[in-house]
Every structure is written in structure tokens, then in C-alpha cells.
């Protein structure tokens, strides 16, 4: 079942166009990954889908309903939840209060106890430190809190923008394991990520975004084996280049 569809969307910041005719599809239960260099438009695309930077052309559908003119809080109520780059926690507030902010929608508040149990089961450290200020947590724990806050909203589609940014490799591996678990529990995931190898190993499907345009798509495995991806994003020499020699 098709859950999210972006059709030929253009997004600008003033006179600067950041996305040029971008289209993508995300089916229910998938993990779909966006890879591409810095400045390619990944964050802009995430913000457009989340209702923070509406497109001036094209449309975005969620469950077949046009949502590209909806505001962010309306999309959250429908189950579209963004974890932004840099986490954007309230550093001076406690872990518990940050989590509570994720459950502001009426539907989420009705299931508060159940959702807390789920978040604390996935991230026991958040239960242990629920009274601690968010800004005093380690980087990895802050990312866990950001994911936990998003889960409090009971998402159907979880958007993650660069969740591995600034984290140690072992912590990144733990975060990706959590994303795999969240997806297995029925949440669809759209992930923008610089760590191309780990992201593509996680992905059912992937899109390459370059200079504000989709330049390639395929399964995670197909992308891992594509010469352009291996050369540009995985730091590998392709077989043809290896045969050519120095």
C-alpha cells in the first residue's frame, strides 16, 4: 500500500530553488533512505513532507490525501512525525518533559501510559534518567530521546534527518538497530543519512538526491552495488577503474 507520495515538487527559499521536480514513493512498512551530498536538498525534502517548508509546485499525498498545504501540527496528528537534524531538544527541560512534548496531540495523550512503556522498553536509559536535564545527556542518549519524543506522538511515518550526525560508530549501530526494531513494529521510515553504507544496508529502497533532483533510485542492495554510489558515497573503486589501474 502506497503511504507517502511526492509528485514533481519544487521548494524554494526566496529566490533560491532547493528542490527541482522531486518525486518519490514510500510504501507502508518500508524503510526508504535518501542519500546525497551536503546541500543536495535532503533536509528541504524532509521539511516539505513534514509541513515546515511547503512546495510552491507539485503535491504531496499521505494515504492518498493531499497534505502539502497542511501545517506541521496537522500532519503530526495524522501520524507524520519528523526528527530534525541536530535533535532540537529542550536542553534545560527534563527527559520526561521532553517526552511529554511529543504527546501533545489528543490521540497521543489517550495512550500515554502505553506509549511511555514502549519508549522506556526500547530506551531503558531514558527511564533511568527521566528527571535529568536533556542537555546533560550524551550525544547518543540525546538522539535516543529525540527518537523517543517522536514515538510519543504515535507515528505511522517517521522522518529522520541525519540521526547519526556527530555520534560514535558503536552508538550509530545501536541507533540503526532501534530503527530496524521500530520498523518491525509497524512504523514506516523515511531516513536522510550521510552514512550511506549503513543506511543502504538498512533500506528496502533508496533514492539519490543531488543538486535538488533525484538522480537515481533502487533497492538498498542495488544502490550498494551501483558504480556511482560506490565511487561517490562509499569511497570504493569500481571494477572498471580498478582494471584501468593508475
Give the alpha-carbon dihedral of 72, 158, 28, 206, to 10 degrees.
110
Q: What pairs with residue 5 in β-bridges? A: 25, 61
CATH number of the domain at 2-79+155-244, please?
3.40.50.300
The pTM assigned to this predicted structure is 0.91
Q: Among residues 188, 202, 116, which one has the least CA distance to residue 158?
A: 188
What was the pLDDT predicted at 58? 96
CA–CA distance, 93 with 133 (Å, rounded to integer)? 5
Domain ranges of the chain: 2-79+155-244, 90-154
Nearest to 72 by CA among 92, 52, 100: 52
Residue-level pLDDT at 107: 84
> Percent helix, strand and coil across the chain, each rounded to 5?
40, 25, 30
Q: What is the dihedral of CA 217, 221, 222, 226, to 10 degrees?
A: 100
Please state the three-class secondary structure of 67-120 as a single string.
Answer: CCCCCHHHHHHHCEEEECCCCCCCCCCEHHHHHHHCCCCHHHHHCHHHHHHHHH
Question: In the prediction, which pLDDT does 236 show?
Answer: 62
Q: What would the pLDDT profile of 123-173 be if each residue is shown by its tens digit?
A: 999 999 999 999 999 999 999 999 999 999 999 999 999 998 888 899 999
Amino acid at each position: 500500500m502506497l503511504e507517502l507520495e511526492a509528485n514533481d515538487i519544487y521548494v524554494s527559499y526566496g529566490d533560491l530553488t532547493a528542490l527541482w521536480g522531486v518525486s518519490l514513493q514510500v510504501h507502508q512498512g518500508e524503510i526508504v533512505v535518501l542519500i546525497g551530498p551536503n546541500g543536495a536538498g535532503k533536509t528541504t525534502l524532509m521539511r516539505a513532507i513534514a509541513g515546515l517548508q511547503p512546495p510552491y509546485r507539485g503535491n504531496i499525498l499521505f494515504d492518498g490525501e493531499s497534505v502539502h498545504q497542511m501545517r506541521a501540527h496537522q500532519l503530526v496528528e495524522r501520524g507524520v512525525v519528523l526528527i530534525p537534524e541536530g535533535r532540537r531538544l529542550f536542553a534545560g527541560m527534563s527527559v520526561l518533559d521532553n517526552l511529554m512534548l511529543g504527546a501533545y496531540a489528543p490521540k497521543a495523550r489517550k495512550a500515554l501510559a502505553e506509549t511511555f512503556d514502549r519508549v522506556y522498553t526500547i530506551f531503558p536509559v531514558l527511564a533511568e534518567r527521566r528527571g535529568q536535564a536533556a542537555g546533560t545527556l550524551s550525544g547518543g542518549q540525546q538522539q535516543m530521546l529525540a527518537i523517543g519524543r517522536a514515538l510519543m506522538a504515535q507515528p505511522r511515518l517517521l522522518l529522520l534527518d541525519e540521526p547519526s550526525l556527530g555520534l560514535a560508530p558503536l552508538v550509530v549501530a545501536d541507533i540503526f538497530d532501534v530503527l530496524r526494531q521500530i520498523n518491525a513494529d509497524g512504523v514506516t521510515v523515511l531516513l536522510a543519512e550521510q552514512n550511506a553504507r549503513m543506511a543502504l544496508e538498512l533500506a528496502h529502497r533508496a533514492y539519490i538526491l543531488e543538486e535538488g533532483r533525484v538522480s537515481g533510485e533502487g533497492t538498498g542492495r542495488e544502490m550498494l552495488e551501483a558504480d556511482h554510489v560506490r565511487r561517490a558515497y562509499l569511497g570504493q573503486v569500481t571494477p572498471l577503474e580498478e582494471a584501468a589501474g593508475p
